[in-house]
Each structure stands twice: as structure tokens, then as C-alpha cells.
A and B are shown apart, each in its own frame.
Chain A
């Protein structure tokens, strides 16, 4: 597979289609991060697209001090944080919303009771995530669902690795308190 850096260089040298390849490579990850941040399909869809549009605008000046995907996550997190701030408060999550939009649902082999309990748990988990302060939420999600290391997260959210560890620690403590019923 062609490296991101090579695609970026070729795009900077005028090969437009290399941008398409970068979009195809990262659209799922960026959409899923946006979705977990705002928990609304259409908003996440728009925010993910805006991320790539901004990347397109910024790529001619991109100097590879961080990796392309770290930079992409950085744009996405900033957009989502701005969006959350603007929307004042994230909506409460209903059980029906779990599984909406782009979420992939695997066929269930559970009993209806188990399914219902699972849905309740998922709604509780998402509501708990929504109650985290923006930066803690971003750090938690980048670590839990995007598999980023502390130093990568530090670059994305623009803080020290120590602050990332502290944010993650406080996030887990808060989540644990919010989910006492389930832990």
C-alpha cells in the first residue's frame, strides 16, 4: 500500500486523485470519531466531510511535522469540539438511537430481554461519554476507539502527554461514577 506521505507529496505536486485515496483511506475512522463525539449521524457526516475539506485546503502547506492522520484527527477533534460548544448540550441518548445512521449492527442471537438490556447499557455508555468535558471526551475516544497512543493524542488535542494521561484518568473516574449501576 502506498504510504500516506507519498500520497500527500503527489497531491502537493498536482495529482488530485491522491486526495481521493486519502479520503477513502480515512473516511471511516474520521466519521466514527465524529459520530462518537456528537452522536448524531447527519452531524457526524457533515463534520467528517468538513474535516476533509479543511484538509484539502491545508494540504498544500502541510509540512509533515506530524503524520497525516494525526493532523486529520486534529482537524476533526477541533471541529467537533467547536460544534459541541455551539450546540450547547449534547442530546440525551435514547435506546432507539443506538444503531442509527452509519452504525453497523450485527445480527443478534440474543433473547429480546438480553437485547433490551444491551440497548439500555449502550444508551447509558453513550450518555456517560457525552457528559465528559470536551477535551476528556476527545482523549478518551481517541484512546478507546481509535487506538492512538498518548503521544499521538497529545499532538491531536494540542497538550502534553502528561495532560493526556491526566485527562484519561479523570475521564475513566467520571465514567465509572456515572455508570455505577453497570460496573
Chain B
């Protein structure tokens, strides 16, 4: 391996994530290469520096207070309950586009996990100039706005049951995964295409 390849593996070498053979090969290289040795020491010092941040722990009193407050908030929520839970989570302007994009990316990677085109699409969601549209879309969709964007129609085309289930399960990615598992291949392809059009 040349220095460039070695340096790309140094972090994994440092954290012990390489195979035995790779580890040995890099250890040998480091003995004879001052440049890579210097790079390695720099990485090591960087990682070790972060041990200098103090531990973060709640005091005994805070731990007690924490649970009391969680319980109290849950009681208040149960008494008032003005909206279904997902609706509170999705109140307009409170949800940044990132949350929506995460859902889109999750959908995409679940739909075609081994497809490089889908992976590329997932990465494009974060960098898309229309990135904020994905947030708008999710908000519109879940607020029942009939003028929702392309993915809205894509989801709608998959049937009312699917939409209802998405509404119920949005908070839990595990459940979205179940929903995706239940789609036919054609439905999966259609959904990917619609997300792609949206971007």
C-alpha cells in the first residue's frame, strides 16, 4: 500500500477496526515512514484530546427531578391531548426540513438498499437546492393539504391504507420499515421515481 492508502486507513488502525493482516501491514509501514508516522500521531492526539472534556452526569437530585417532570408532562399531555401525537410533532414551522429529509432518505434506502442509484439519490436529498421543499411536502401532506407536492401524490397513489398507516407510524422508523416491506416491487419503484421527480 502507498502512503495515501495507508493514511486513509490510519483512523481504523488507531481504533482497531482493521483485519489482522491489514493492521500488521500498516504497523510495518509506520516503522519505516516518518510522514505516515507523523500523520498517525496527529490523529491519535486529536482523538485523545477529547478525553479532556468533563464527564456529564445528572446529580442524584436531578435524576429524581427528571423522572418527576417526565411523568408530569405525560399527565398534562394525556389530559389535554389536542392533536394526535404525530401532529404535535409535525406542527408547521417547528419541524425543520432535515427531519423530513431524514424520512425521505430512510424511505429511499429501505426501498432499494443495494441500489447505488438510490444511495446517490439519498445523498442528494441533503444537498438538493430544493431540500426545504421536502420539509414543506411532509408538512403539507400530513396537514392534509391537497396541494401537497409530488411525493404526496406518490404516497396517495399507493392507497389510503398506506397513507393512514404512515400517519400512525411516522415517529417510528421501524414501523416505516415494515410498511416499506409490505410494498410490491412496482410500488417501491414508483415511490423512488416520485421522490426523484420531487428533487
- CB contacts (< 8 Å) of B171 on chain A: these are 54, 57-58, 75
Q: Which of B11, B45, B53 is packed against the most chain A CB atoms within 10 Å?
A: B53
> Hey, what's the 0/1 contact readout for A62-86 against B, CB within 8 Å counting as 1?
1101100001001100100110011
Looking at B66-74, B147-155, B156-164, the stretch in contact with chain A turns out to be: B66-74
Partner of B49, one of A32, A61, A145, A182: A182
Complex Cα spacing A64 to B90, Å: 25
Looking at B29-37, B97-105, B137-145, B185-193, the stretch in contact with chain A turns out to be: B97-105
**Known: A32-B57, A125-B53, A183-B45. Is A23-B172 also a contact (CB below 8 A)?**
no
Q: Does residue A179 face the partner (Cβ distance < 8 Å to B)?
A: yes
Partner of A122, one of B53, B58, B62, B173: B53
- CB contacts (< 8 Å) of A78 on chain B: these are 99, 102
Q: Does residue A121 face the partner (Cβ distance < 8 Å to B)?
A: yes
Complex Cα spacing A68 to B149, Å: 34
Interchain CB contact under 8 A, A53 and B43? no
Q: Which of B55, B77, B178 is packed against the most chain A CB atoms within 10 Å?
A: B55
Distance of B127 from chain A, by nearest CB (Å) = 11
Q: Does residue A5 face the partner (Cβ distance < 8 Å to B)?
A: no
**Known: A53-B73, A81-B98, A165-B12. Is A104-B175 also a contact (CB below 8 A)?**
no
Interchain CB contact under 8 A, B96 and A32? no
Per the 8 Å Cβ criterion, residues 5-46 of B in contact with A are 11-12, 17, 42-43, 45-46
Distance of B118 from chain A, by nearest CB (Å) = 12
Distance of B166 from chain A, by nearest CB (Å) = 13
User: Could you count the A-B residue pairs with CB atoms below 8 Å apart for me: how many are there?
Assistant: 135
Distance of A171 from chain B, by nearest CB (Å) = 10
Complex Cα spacing A168 to B45, Å: 16
Complex Cα spacing A78 to B89, Å: 12
- CB contacts (< 8 Å) of A172 on chain B: these are 11, 43, 46-47
Distance of B179 from chain A, by nearest CB (Å) = 12
Interchain CB contact under 8 A, B70 and A49? yes
Per the 8 Å Cβ criterion, residues 163-183 of A in contact with B are 165, 168-169, 172, 175-176, 179, 182-183
With both beta carbons as reference points, the residue of chain B lying nearest to A178 in the complex is identified as B46
* Chain B, interface residues (CB within 8 Å), range: 35 or more
Distance of B44 from chain A, by nearest CB (Å) = 9
- CB contacts (< 8 Å) of B109 on chain A: these are 158-160
Complex Cα spacing A53 to B77, Å: 10
Q: Does residue A118 face the partner (Cβ distance < 8 Å to B)?
A: yes
- CB contacts (< 8 Å) of B42 on chain A: these are 176, 183
With both beta carbons as reference points, the residue of chain A lying nearest to B65 in the complex is identified as A45
**Known: A24-B63, A52-B70, A158-B106. Is A126-B174 also a contact (CB below 8 A)?**
no
Beyond the given A58-B171, A103-B55, A158-B106, please list 15 additional residue pairs across the A-B interface where CB-CB is below 8 A: A32-B56, A45-B66, A54-B171, A81-B99, A99-B54, A102-B59, A125-B53, A126-B53, A144-B50, A150-B17, A165-B12, A172-B11, A172-B46, A175-B46, A175-B50
Q: Which residues does A use to contact B, with CB under 8 Å?
A: 20, 23-24, 27-28, 31-32, 35-36, 45, 48-49, 52-54, 56-58, 61-63, 65-66, 71, 74-75, 78, 81-82, 85-86, 98-99, 102-106, 118, 121-122, 125-126, 134, 144-145, 150, 158-160, 165, 168-169, 172, 175-176, 179, 182-183
Q: Which residues does B use to contact A, with CB under 8 Å?
A: 11-12, 17, 42-43, 45-47, 49-50, 52-59, 62-63, 66-67, 69-71, 73-74, 77, 85, 89, 94-99, 102, 105-106, 109, 119, 169, 171-175, 177-178
